[in-house]
Structure 1
Amino acid sequence: MSDRMSRLVQLRFLERVQLGDLERTRRWIADEERREAERSRGVGRDPLVRWLVGGQPADHERGDQRFGLRTT
């Protein structure tokens, strides 16, 4: 009987893992559908958007300058 319970516990664990995987996959699908809809409307996010704070590039954009790298 203990082997049977052990197998049941293992199967319940597998079920929880697979449900978590399914939920994650569904989120990825929903995210991709949202991005597709944005692209079709021309709203998509530009990964090279420059955020300005007080007329200056934000800190994360000055990384090349801090390390002495040329951006041109």
Structure 2
Amino acid sequence: MMIIMTRSIPPQIRAVASGMLGGSCENIDSENITVTREGNVFFVDLPTLIQDGVPCTRNLVPFEEYIPVNYSSLSA
């Protein structure tokens, strides 16, 4: 996972998750991504969806997902 901070005002932070999905029918469920925080540690959950009823390959499929991170309550 990589972190990107924009040069905008106020700055925006995004986590960039990348990896491989298990086949052509598996996708990141972008609407249900969650970011939780414990202290100064952020946890990102990337759920996946598997499409039913369509032909699938079992080839690994690369993905990259940009996830906004709310950091406003962190102290400097």
Task: Name whichever structure is richer in helix by fraction.
Answer: 1
Which structure has the highest strand share of the two? Answer: 2
Give the TM bin, normalised by the shorter chain. Answer: under 0.3
Q: What's the TM-score once normalised by structure 1's chain length? A: 0.20
Bigger radius of gyration among the two: 1
Pick 1 or 2: higher relative contact order, CA cutoff 8 A, min separation 6.
Answer: 2
